[in-house]
Structure 1
Amino acid sequence: MSKKSLLRWLKEGQINIPAVLLSQYKDMKINESELVLLLHVMSFIEKGNDFPTPVELSSTMTITAAECTNILRRLIQMGFIEIIDGYSNDGIRFEKYSLDPLWEKLISSFLLQEKQTETNVQRQEEKDIYTCFEQEFGRPLSPFECETLAMWMDEDQHGTVIIKAALREAVISGKLNFRYIDRILFEWKKNGIKTLEQAKNHGRKFRQYQKGRPKEEQGNSEPLPFYNWLDK
């Protein structure tokens, strides 16, 4: 290949295609012909032609100008392309394609998928925590226990990690009942504990406090247990 050929190749330039467009176009109801035409419109815009004609578009594709016209019309109707008209500083009227609607829809589609993924993860975590409780209790949860567990997550806004931590505390303490777990969660929420690391630090401080108290006081009080199970 000659230097002139390489120079022409470089002058062709390149277009940046968001990877999310390739992963989302199917969900956005865009078919392959429409996607390729959109990419060609992007390419023309990058090269300074903001309003390529169907003839110009078809010259770079394997479809006719009439087919390009139909696809363009369909993309406009679907709200992926917008035609903007106006006047230049010289008073010359112009028209150009805008792909802003495409990017806006792409962002919305991406955020919707992210939200759906988060919802699915949350549902799976909630399902897992019910299973975790049933395994520790060795039986199916009663309707009241299921309601209490849901209340901890929905009303009290306890994370599943913290609820599992409180369950583990109850198991180690040999006090496996919902009332005891609720007391632990209440104590942790009062102290602003929302993560495992915070629970670990709180447990360490509690034990240091307990060591510094007289034995008589330790025997008379019934504090909530904080075992160092997080280190295991």
Structure 2
Amino acid sequence: MNQDEALHLLKYGSTTVSNLLFDYYAEIGLDEKEMMMLLHIHRFIEEHHPFPTPAELSERMALTNDECSSLLRTLINNGFLDMHKNEDDSQVMYETFSLDPLFRRIVEALYRPAEENRTEADEEGGIYQLFEEEFARPLSPMEFETINVWMDQDKYSAELIKAALHESVLSGKLNLRYIDRILFEWYKNGIRTKQEAKSHSERFRKSTSSTGTASKEKLPHYPNINWLDEP
């Protein structure tokens, strides 16, 4: 066989695969062996053979029949491959593989960062509107800056800031200085989420009810709020 014949053999056919599969397969949890099997299945489907057996896959891969069977089960169980039962015009049942789950996972990975960033931006933008609604007036430039510092420098989450605002409303102390004290106390006590803030408030409520009047030194700087009143 001369070089021209060898070159012709290399070009005898091609399988079209999106570059997104190569860019995102590791991100969605596939290893190289799993990805290679899915590529082989993709080629079989393009060749109008949508249900290759483990033996047929083994002939094209450096895996035994049993290893191919095990890998197929893993791909199906992990949601990267579907197996469908079909019926032809003669009512004969047959099975096919589908790579739709793989493609859906790729699309989800492709758009997930943008969706997460947009959700976070929407949530942070809604904080300013929420403060203005509770204050019943527009925020001053200094108040905008204070809220910005909470999010950008102090790294308080949007849900925690909203929870602190809610406490200040219920306590009748609606000002940013008081809310800042609440957030500082929560941070000092390792509280990072709304649920943790609720639990902290409940523990304090139980402590004060069991001991009667707590000393001023042990009292937190924010009020004891009944979280069940939350709308």
| TM-score normalised by length of structure 2 | 0.52
Q: Shift of the alpha carbon at 1:172?
A: 0.9
Q: CA deviation at 1:196?
A: 2.3
Post-superposition CA distance 1:76-133 (Å, at most 9, x none): xxxxxxxxxxxxxxxxxxxxxxxxxxx99x94x6534211111111111112111100
Work out whether 1:43 is the aligned partner of 2:41. Answer: no
Report what 2:175 is aligned to: 177
Paired letter, 1:44: E
Partner Cα distance (2:205, 2:149) in 1: 30
Task: Say which SS state the counterpart of residue 215 (structure 2) adopts.
Answer: helix
- Shift in alpha-carbon separation, 1:220–1:152, aligned structure 2, 3 A: closer
Q: Measure the CA separation in 2 of the matches of 1:201 and 1:146.
A: 29
The answer as to whether partners of 2:185 and 2:221 remain within 8 angstroms in 1 is no
CA offsets 1:163-220 (integer angstroms, 9 cap, x no match):
1110011111111110100000011111111222211110011112223445483599
Q: Deviations over 1:37-86 (max 9, x none)?
A: xx8885129678xxxxxxxxxxxxxxxxxxxxxxxxxxxxxxxxxxxxxx
For residues 77-88 of structure 1, the aligned pairs below 5 Å read none
Structure 1 match to 2:158: 160
Q: Secondary structure at the residue paired with 1:193?
A: coil
Q: How does 1:122-201 map to 2 (within 5 A)?
A: 122-201=120-199
One-letter identity of the residue aligned with 2:204: F
The 1:219/1:194 distance shift into structure 2, 3 A limit, reads closer
CA distance in 2, matches of 1:227, 1:200: 9
| Inter-partner Cα distance in structure 1 for 2:139 and 2:147 | 10
Cα distance in 2 for residues equivalent to 1:153 and 1:223: 21
How far, CA to CA, are the matches of 2:167 and 2:45 in structure 1?
59
Report the 3-state secondary structure (helix = DSSP H, G, I; strand = E; otherwise coil) of the residue aligned with 1:192. Answer: coil
**d(CA) in 2 for partners of 1:220, 1:203:** 14
Q: Give me the whole-angstrom Cα distance separating, in 1, the residues matched to 2:152 and 2:228.
A: 25
Structure 2 CA distance for aligned equivalents of residues 196 and 230 of structure 1: 13
CA 147–112 in structure 1, closer or farther in 2 if over 3 Å, else same? farther
Identity of aligned residues (%): 43
SS in 1 for 2:122: helix
Structure 1 residue aligned with 2:113: 115
Task: Work out the number of aligned pairs and report it.
Answer: 143
Take 2:223 and 2:109, find their aligned partners in 1: how far apart are those partners?
Answer: 42
Report SS of the residue matched to 1:175: coil
- Offset at 1:226? 2.5
Match of 1:124, as an amino acid?
Answer: D
- Aligned mates of 1:148, 1:178 — CA distance in 2: 8
| Structure 1 unpaired stretches of 5+ | 1-16, 22-38, 49-102
Structure 2, gaps ≥5 residues long: 1-16, 22-41, 57-101
Residue number in structure 1 paired with 2:226: 228
Q: Are residues 1:204 and 2:207 paired?
A: no
How well do the aligned residues superpose, as a CA RMSD in angstroms?
A: 3.7
